[in-house]
Amino acid sequence: MDEMERYRYPLRAIALEYFYTVLGLVFTLLPLALVTPLPAVTGVLGGLALLFFIFGLRTLIRHNMFVAVSDGGVTLGGLWGVKIPWHEMREFKLSYFSTRRDRHGGWMQLRLRGQKRTIRLDSTLAGFDKLLARAAREARRHDLELGPETLQNLNALGVLDPSHMMASENDGGNAP
């Protein structure tokens, strides 16, 4: 039987994003409601309010989303259902985005591309490390080529197995 594990973004991370959305909307819409600013200021505040609103919609979607991992593949459930069977995976990419100049602090983003669809998940997902390890094993099993950035990030997280390391050393970091 196909055992399935489900992961969600933790409530703490989602609640913080909702807080940022409300705070941003208050600081952009309240001045527009209280005074009549210059047209340029109205445009800037209105644009920023739109960005915070879109961020809030994105947070709502993430709140209602789950990731299911099974022997058959990975499924992104929620508003849009996307399934990528392991045998259809065409790309495995792990990127690091730093929030500081010293490259400490930041987040990872995992991108899995199938024949028709792509799933992007970030490291705030509960169980991200388990999902990453499973996807890396499947990428290796299906002989996907991993880029140097992905290999470096997998190595930094301790996800690479010895066969990944030997292949990357022998082929200059471009082999799976």
- Closest to 17 (Cα-Cα) out of 62, 49, 65, 50: 62
Q: What was the pLDDT predicted at 166?
A: 45
In a domain, 84, yes or no: yes
Residues 77 and 53 in one domain: no
Q: What was the pLDDT predicted at 162?
A: 52
In a domain, 95, yes or no: yes
In a domain, 38, yes or no: yes
Residues 48 and 79 in one domain: no
Each residue's pLDDT tens digit, 78-131 = 877 899 999 999 999 999 988 777 667 788 999 999 998 999 999 999 999 999
Share of the chain above pLDDT 70, in %: 89
In a domain, 176, yes or no: no
Dihedral pair phi/psi, residue 98, rounded to 5°? -85, 145
In a domain, 105, yes or no: yes
Residues 37 and 113 in one domain: no
CA–CA distance from 64 to each of 14, 59, 109, 127, 137 (Å)?
10, 9, 19, 16, 28
Our count of domains for the chain comes to 2
Range of the domain at 123: 68-170
Each residue's pLDDT tens digit, 51-75 = 999 999 999 998 999 999 999 999 9
Residues 158 and 104 in one domain: yes
pLDDT of 167 > 60? The answer is no
17-35: average pLDDT? 95
Residues 77 and 123 in one domain: yes
In a domain, 175, yes or no: no
140-151: average pLDDT? 91
